[in-house]
Each structure stands twice: as structure tokens, then as C-alpha cells.
Amino acid sequence: MKPFTRTIYPAFLLVGFALASASSLQRCEFPMIINFGDSTSDTGGLSATFFYVPLPYGETYFHRPAGRFSDGRVLLDFMAEGLGLPYLSAYLDSLGTNFSHGVNFATAGSTIRPQNLPFATTGLSPFSLDIQLSQFAQFKSRSQLVAEQGGVFKDLMPKQKYFSRALYTIDIGGNDIGLGFTQNLTDVEIKAIIHDGLGILASSIKTLYDGGARFFWVHNPPPIGCIPSMLVSMPPAADQMDSVGCSIPMNKMVEYFNGELNKTLVQLRKELPLAVLTYVDIYSAKYELISHAAKYAEGRSTIRPQNQSFTISGLNPFSLDIQLTQFMQFKSRSQLVAKQGFKYPLKACCGYGGGKYNFNGSIRCAFPTMVNGTLITVKSCKDPSTRINFDGYHFTEAANKWLFDHIHTGRYSKNHGKDHKGKSKKELRAETPHLKE
């Protein structure tokens, strides 16, 4: 199956978080990221609300549970790093949060359309996009009231002027499509859901725009037909699988969604003259990685963190000669790992059952489960940095890093932004106040 076809508009692309025209390249200095989404960008919302997400989630980078559904950082974390901003705190997390440079409303299991279905049985979050927008409205007004108290309160809240200069990221929709398949809906019924959802998405962007938002970074849904959990729960017939092993019907439906999403953004461009709407083709980027996993090694995490220091404080057996030996091992092993590429693109790293997908929906990663009278806890594979899928649903940190490295260049983006060509610097500053002179 070929990925969704992209048409790149080179005249005015948001590339590498920079606004570019044919004659100029002006760095964007977004002071804040405001994110709406689902588990692919959740940085602790669901964990703070419903249940603790234990190790091995978070083990690779944070070395502790961090509320993320990955072994380490998610794509949003790398985006924040790319802009020189701190990682985003979840709006729903009340402990140790800092909203001075961003806020995250995403929760795992979220959908665009409101779902009147219980979380306990469906895994769908009650925090659909409309609820996330309501939370944002409260945050925008209440954060300023908190900041007015001064002191530490002021330091933990964003400045009022940041809201119009922020990058608004939207990463949601995959669960809406997946739900249609799990409920055995027809193609016609799923497409009706898609159009309803895109109407809500468009309305949400308009609401944000009316409140002063101008810069939008919109991700399309990934190829859900390549997700182990979907392939196990609804295994496709042999003639319904592509050469990679992904479900053709599922991915075709995602491609339909993505085509309609692009049309929606084109229309919004006409209605919102000052908006810069960047469509990010996550689908094609992820499909590229999954379908050519073995050849990609750049951007991979290594066995140990990069720029690792072997200095260990205190009295212990790790004297300087031992530390040098460790460094030599690290130097050689890290390069061996970097040359391996990714393995088993459709197989969960932290899963149960072995086989092609190593996934069992009843025996999940990290959560203790009784199996034949024995309580077991599924652990991570030996080296998540060589794997794409972590838990049967979500990408590993290494795959997320690869994804960021490839989308931030603009290769997988198309921009439906205001044409600033021919405008003076003064006019540009009036329309886009966050641009550097």
C-alpha cells in the first residue's frame, strides 16, 4: 500500500519550525506550545486522572514512570526540545506542574467526537476534543488570575501575550477511526463519523482562531492497520494485507480521513485569513518507517543516553580506569546498535504471547495480570531502541525520535498559511508578532 500522497507547497512552508518564503527564512520563536490530542501526545493526563502508568513506561529516558505511553519521550517532547522549550505538563496533573511555556490537554483514548461509552470497558477517554477546548478556555482565563498572585504563581503560568504567539498542535482522530472498526461499522458509517469529526475539528480551530490563535500544527492519524493491537483483534484475510503485513481496509480508511482533513484545512485557510495551518503527514512518515524499518538507523536512541558521563560521585569501586573501560565499551557498542536499524516493525516490544505481533489484549504491558493462577507483569524487550512499537499501540522513544527528525524538516508537511510574500517587516510584525526582525 502506498502512503497518502503529499503535495508540497514550497512558496511558504512551515519547515523546521520556521516560516519560510521564497526570499526569506525567519525563525519562529514560539514561546509556548498548546497541545490537544490522544495517547500519542499524552504527557501525563490520563495517568493523573484514572490510573498510574508504571514502568517499563518511561524507563529509557526518564528512568521512572512519566505518564507517557512509551518507553521514553513521545513526539511532542521532541517538538518541545526542537523549540527550546520545557516538556509540557498535563493540564490534568496537579503535582509539580509548570505551565509557563505550554500546556497539554491530550489524554490517552481521546477522540474528536464525544463518546458516551464507559472508559473501563472501551478504553476511550471522556476528554474528547470539545472537552479539551473547554479546559483550554478555563486555563486561559484562570492562569492569568493565578499569575496575578505574584511570586512562584507568576513563574508557573504563561504570560497573556504568549497565547497569540503560541504554536497550537492538534494530534487526534485515530481513535475515532479505530472505534468504527471495533464496532463493526460499514465503510459508509465510518465515513459519516469521519465527516462529523472533521466538522468538529474545523469548529475547534475556528474557536481557537477567534480567541487569538494563529499558528496551527495539525497531525493526521497514523496507519492504524499497522498497529499490532488492531491486527490481533481484527486480523485481516491474506488478500487484505499489504506487502508489509498491514491491513489494507483499515489504512485505506485512514487515507480517506487524511484526504478529507487536508481539504478541511484548505477551506479553513480561506475562512481564516491570518492563520498558518500546517498539515503534517504523520501517516506517510510512520508508514515509511514501518515499511523500511531495517534501513533506518539515524536518529535512533542508543543503549545508553547520548553524551553520557561516567563520573560517579562518592567512594565506590568505579575508579577512573574502570570508567575508561566502560567508556570504550559504550563507544563500540553504541555504534553497533546504531548500525542495526529497527527490527520487527509489527511486533510489540513490551507484549505477551510471542509470535508475529507479541500482543495479547488481556495481558498488557506493565500491568500485573493473573495468568493460569500466577500473577505476571509483562516487561519490556531487551533493547527498545531497536524496535518501533513499544506496547502494541504506541511507538518507542527511538521511533518517535526518528519521526521527529523526519517531519521537522518539512518533508511531510504542507502549509495552508497566509501568504506574506511582498509584505514589509512592519506589516509582518503586525500580523505575526512572534517573528524576529
Average pLDDT, integer, range 314-339: 61
Residue recorded with cell 500546556: 103
Give the model's pLDDT for residue 48. 96
Average pLDDT, integer, range 179-205: 98
Average pLDDT, integer, range 235-251: 98
Q: How many other CB atoms are there within 10 angstroms of residue 47's CB atom?
A: 24
Strands (E), 187-328: 215-219, 276-280
Residue 429 has pLDDT above 70, yes or no: no
Give the pLDDT confidence of 357-374 residue by residue, as tens digits. Answer: 999 999 999 999 999 999
The single residue of 101, 219, 394, 408 carrying the catalytic annotation is 394
The single residue of 38, 39, 171, 406 carrying the catalytic annotation is 39
pLDDT band of residue 416 (cuts 50, 70, 90) is: confident
Q: How many other CB atoms are there within 10 angstroms of residue 229's CB atom?
A: 21
Give the model's pLDDT for residue 169. 99
Residue 142 has pLDDT above 70, yes or no: yes
Residue 308 has pLDDT above 50, yes or no: no
Give the model's pLDDT for residue 310. 36
Annotation says 292 is catalytic: no
Annotation says 281 is catalytic: no
- The answer to whether the beta carbons of residues 65 and 54 sit under 8 Å apart is yes
Which domains, and CATH codes, for the chain? 12-296+393-431 (3.40.50.1110), 320-386 (no CATH)
Residue 54 has pLDDT above 50, yes or no: yes
Question: Does 299 or 436 have the greater pLDDT score?
Answer: 299
Is 0.85 topped by the overall pTM?
no
If you ran DSSP here, which 8-state letter would residue 37 be given? E
Mean pLDDT of the chain, nearest integer: 86
Q: What residues does 416 pair with on adjacent strands? A: 277
Annotation says 39 is catalytic: yes
Strands (E), 46-118: 102-104
Q: Which grid coordinates are listed for 117?
A: 461509552
Residue 71 has pLDDT above 80, yes or no: yes
Give the model's pLDDT for residue 119. 74
pLDDT band of residue 306 (cuts 50, 70, 90) is: very low
- The answer to whether the beta carbons of residues 227 and 389 sit under 8 Å apart is yes
Average pLDDT, integer, range 9-33: 47
pLDDT band of residue 122 (cuts 50, 70, 90) is: confident
- The answer to whether the beta carbons of residues 377 and 391 sit under 8 Å apart is no
CA distances (Å), origin 396, targets 143, 170, 222, 266, 413: 33, 20, 15, 32, 22
Residue 253 CA, chain-centre distance (Å), reads 20
Query: In this predicted structure, which of 134-143, 153-162, 188-197, 309-318 has the lowest mean pLDDT?
Result: 309-318
Residue 419 has pLDDT above 80, yes or no: no
Question: Does 12 or 69 have the greater pLDDT score?
Answer: 69
Residue 24 has pLDDT above 90, yes or no: no
Give the pLDDT confidence of 385-400 residue by residue, as tens digits. Answer: 999 999 999 999 999 9
Residue 16 has pLDDT above 70, yes or no: no
Give the pLDDT confidence of 81-105 residue by residue, as tens digits. Answer: 999 999 999 999 999 999 999 999 9
Give the model's pLDDT for residue 329. 63
Average pLDDT, integer, range 339-355: 92
The single residue of 71, 219, 391, 434 carrying the catalytic annotation is 391
The rounded percent of the chain whose pLDDT value lies above 70 is 79
Average pLDDT, integer, range 191-214: 99
Residue 4 has pLDDT above 70, yes or no: no
